[in-house]
Amino acid sequence: MNNNFIAKIQNLSLDFKGKNLFKNLNFNICENKSTALLGSSGVGKSTLLRCIADLEIENITSGNIVLKEGVSIAWLSQENSLYPWLSILDNVQLYHELKGSKTKQTLQKAKELLSQVNMSEHQNKKTYELSGGQKQRIALARTLMQDANLILMDEPFSALDAITKIQLQDLTCQLLKDKTVVLVTHDPQEAIKLANHIYILKNQPVILEEVASLQGTLPHKLSNEKLWNLQENLISKLQENDRESDI
């Protein structure tokens, strides 16, 4: 595999609920970069993410997904999926909890990660005592606990209030700066802020169009006039796609 890519989606075709969602779809994920998959609800963004995670095998009719040797995957979703019967520390250690590999070392690492996401003082609380933003911080720490090099994020900030969203977006960029990230979002502003490469998904079967390749350190500052104009362009493209789907 080309060393610039951590994953290659090759001639992927997939049927979902009787519809041909993907047909001969080709898409490469750049290593150590952040890629945003942007599109309206129901277009197939999350399904493509699940394909990359090898969770849609039964619906794939042809094609394949090739991961670079040694790639491991972690998932961060909108639903934090914290286990209420586990402590916060054990929720962060869930990967090792399921593998039966919890040790003093994993406990120490969990504490360090809770410190990084500013949740150390809450480590002894129950999950029901946490706010939505706090739960997502725990979910982010749990994701980091896996030491994966490919992070798949399925709209992890969409349920948060505006200020909490900004704080968590910035924190996520900081903590995942050395990882390869694929972000599913319906928010053009979020895509611009958090991604190096932005793709729009449209139509069914899905067409994947790269609409931007951005340089600079993440998160991007939206005060930049060029990025503000890009946001307007993305909004226009999404509105156009929605009009076409209604025809």
Superfamily of 5-246 according to CATH: P-loop containing nucleotide triphosphate hydrolases (3.40.50.300)
Q: Which residues of 207-237 are buried (b: 16+ CB within 10 A; e: fewer)?
A: ebeebbebeeebbbeeeeeebeebbeebeeb
Give me the pLDDT at residue 224, please: 84
| Whether pLDDT at 133 is above 80 | yes
Tokens of 128: 């029901």
Q: What is the pLDDT of residues 152-207, one digit of tens each?
A: 999 999 889 999 999 999 999 999 999 999 999 999 999 999 999 999 999 889 99
Give me the pLDDT at residue 195, please: 97
Cα 141 to Cα 53: distance, rounded to the nearest angstrom: 20
Provide, rounded to the nearest whole percent, the portion of the chain with pLDDT above 90: 74
Cis amide leading into 84 (omega within 30):
no
- Residue 19 β-bridge partners: 16
Q: What is the pLDDT of residues 100-131, one digit of tens each?
A: 899 999 999 999 999 999 999 999 888 899 99
> What's the whole-number average pLDDT of the chain?
91
Taking a C-beta distance cutoff of 8 angstroms, is the pair 173, 218 a contact? yes
Q: Count CB atoms within 10 A of the CB of residue 155.
A: 20
Q: Count CB atoms within 10 A of the CB of residue 42.
A: 11
pTM (predicted TM-score): 0.92
Per-residue pLDDT averaged across 204-225, rounded?
Answer: 91
| Whether pLDDT at 3 is above 90 | no
